[in-house]
Amino acid sequence: MPMLWSAVSYALALAAQGSALSQSEARQIELTQRSIVTIVRSGRSTGSAVLIDGKRLLMAHQNAVGGAPVYARAWDGTQLQLVLLTTDAPTQLVLLRADKAVPGGTKLSVARSIGDKRLFAIVPDRAILAEHAGAGQMGVMNATQRLFTLNEIRFEAPASALAGAPVFNFRGELVGMLGATLEQPGEALADAGDPAPSAAMSMRARAKFGPGTMTVAYSLTADVIQRVVAGFLSPSLKVQHPVIGVLIRDAQGGGVLVEAVQENSPAAKAGLKTGDIILAMNNEEIGDKIAYGRFMARQEVGNRIILAIRRGGAQRSLSVRVGS
Amino acid sequence: MNYRDEDLIKLAFGELDETEAETLRKELAADAAASSQIGEYNWIKEGLSDLRPVPPMQYSTERLRDAILGEGLNVRKRNPLALILAWTPAGAFGVAAVITGVMLMRTGPESLVPANLQSETSLAQVAMQMDDLHRPLLAERAFRTLDDQVRASTEFKVGFAPVAEETAEPEPKDASPKVRFAAQPTRSAPAVRRETQRTLTPETPAAAPVMEVAAPETADAATEQAPPIVMIGSEDDARTGAPIATEVRFDANVVVGG
């Protein structure tokens, strides 16, 4: 029993030390908050928007915005009116324009990769410490069924209005925006329809630490955020995500089975048909949908891809130009 | 006629001078679309005036930092009394360890074993005391039991005895991970049998004890090859306001686009 008490007290001491914030970190949070506005709807804070051009253009999650009109409050209390300019459906991020320049705002710097484990997220009117808990996980956005790479972000503080909360490293670089939160423990396992959840999934669903329940959230990776910001700042305001226009699933024996081909898509133009099995892309073996997603995530719009497919027992090659 | 948004906003928010405002109002009177737009801006202006009063902002670095520490991070202040209480058991444990050490040095490890247990004999001692007629029967029972454990168990057996030189049992061709664990114990059955025989032979000192370590569940070993896929749905979590994510196994039959 004394040993148990000793271990518990030591763990508590470590946990207390882990939450300490240095003065330089606090300063970084303060500076970063100047480029964030709090979105207000019906007198209630519903989320955060991040300044992407240093002046009036802001990026947020569509959940935070809802229907027009949208108001916002800057870090110094300045009230702004926001106009919705465009929505990027695959990522559910929206571009907003403020009626005046955000005071003290600076141009956003997007990280090349998430890098650090210790991060912070800005939620309405406050910042919370967060931890990068996993990289390279693939996520499916239900609205478009597109695969994106995600980062798993965890934090202890209970928080609402998390949709689109920008996540930064302590160099002040944007590393992601929260796009979803993991379903509460119990519900996730019951509703997944998965008869045998892995030990990691069960452990994560049950995991708790500190005084509150741990929140597990997912953010789009920095490369996707960079693509969205570039699109929003372009004259067309359109984001170009690399796609060829197919719906796929894992094929038995390896490869991915083409379930559907979108009309007038690059895949349709190249002659890809429902029932084809994609075995390789640019000589890179495509064993399953995850491999397909990772390959496509590395592509740029306009790239040419050579597909090795199997159709009716025969193998052949097709050339597809990546579209958006 | 089309008007710039900014002109209409300025008019609605009273930022034009009287002359400009009057001119614009006259023009708008003939433009239904622009009039509607200006009406919307007036509505916005009223909405803005209804917003909650904004609390005084934290211009000072120190005040902002305090706010972050106090509200955002929920830092627990260290209570000296709580700290002392938390570390008291550790001190007590240390004292107990020192006392135990002193006892061991003075009286030897036997002093820690209860008297009733000190009088009991081990299995090897029992075997040593038995006559030749009974010894084979006891040995046969003992190593058959261990042999069965090695064949059927899904637990690793990590021992200090050397691994047998005899050929291990062949691995099934289409063995699932679970079968593979069962077919590949760290020690083969013949080696266990020899150890058992050594244990039960009076001339041979008893073999080192066998430490048993639970093997990972084989089903999880397979699923840990790839992380699960995150499914981000269209429904929102009322608690967080963000879309709900669920995880499914990486090999789930999910249709994806791209």
pTM of the model: 0.55
Q: Is residue B89 less than 8 Å (CB to CB) from chain A?
A: yes
- Residue with the bigger pLDDT between A194 and A19: it is A19
Put simply, the answer to whether B92 touches A2 (Cβ < 8 Å) is: yes
- Residue with the bigger pLDDT between A283 and A192: it is A283
DSSP state, residue B163? P
User: Given a cut of 60, is residue A220 above it in pLDDT?
Assistant: yes
Among all residues of chain A, which has the CA nearest to that of B240? A160
Task: Please give the average per-residue pLDDT across A35-58, as a whole number.
Answer: 88
Put simply, the answer to whether A181 touches B244 (Cβ < 8 Å) is: yes
What does chain B come to in residues? 258
List pLDDT tens digits, range B173-185. 443 333 333 333 3
User: Given a cut of 70, is residue B147 above it in pLDDT?
Assistant: no
Helix (H) or strand (E) holding A73: strand A70-73
For residue B254, which residues of chain A lie inside 8 Å, CB to CB? 140, 249, 289
List pLDDT tens digits, range B7-49. 888 888 888 888 888 888 888 888 888 888 888 888 888 888 7
Among all residues of chain A, which has the CA nearest to that of B224? A198
Task: Please give the average per-residue pLDDT across B206-214, as a whole number.
Answer: 43
User: Given a cut of 50, is residue A270 above it in pLDDT?
Assistant: yes
CB A286 within 8 A of CB A309: no
Task: Please give the average per-residue pLDDT across B210-219, as a whole number.
Answer: 42
- Return d(Cα B258, Cα B249) in angstroms, integer: 20
Put simply, the answer to whether B241 touches A129 (Cβ < 8 Å) is: no
- Return d(Cα A23, Cα B32) in angstroms, integer: 57
Of A275, A272, A285, A276, residue with least CA distance to A245: A272
Strands (DSSP E) contained in A156-283 are 166-169, 174-182, 215-220, 246-250, 256-261, 277-281
| Residue entry with tokens 């306001």 | B241
User: Given a cut of 70, is residue B155 above it in pLDDT?
Assistant: no
What is the pLDDT at residue B215?
Answer: 42
Spacing of C-alpha B218 from chain mean position:
18
Substitution target in A181, A204, A261, A303 with the highest count of B β-carbons within 10 Å is: A181
Residue B108 pLDDT level (bands cut at 50, 70, 90):
low
The ipTM, to two decimals, is 0.75
Among all residues of chain A, which has the CA nearest to that of B77? A16
- Return d(Cα B193, Cα A290) in angstroms, integer: 48
Provide the percentage of residues in chain A whose pLDDT is more than 70: 84
What is the pLDDT at residue B59?
Answer: 57
Rg over CA atoms, chain A: 22
- Return d(Cα B95, Cα B131) in angstroms, integer: 49
Task: Please give the average per-residue pLDDT across B86-114, as a whole number.
Answer: 79
Provide the percentage of residues in chain A whose pLDDT is more than 90: 21
Task: Please give the average per-residue pLDDT across A197-208, as a whole number.
Answer: 48
- Residue with the bigger pLDDT between A171 and B224: it is A171
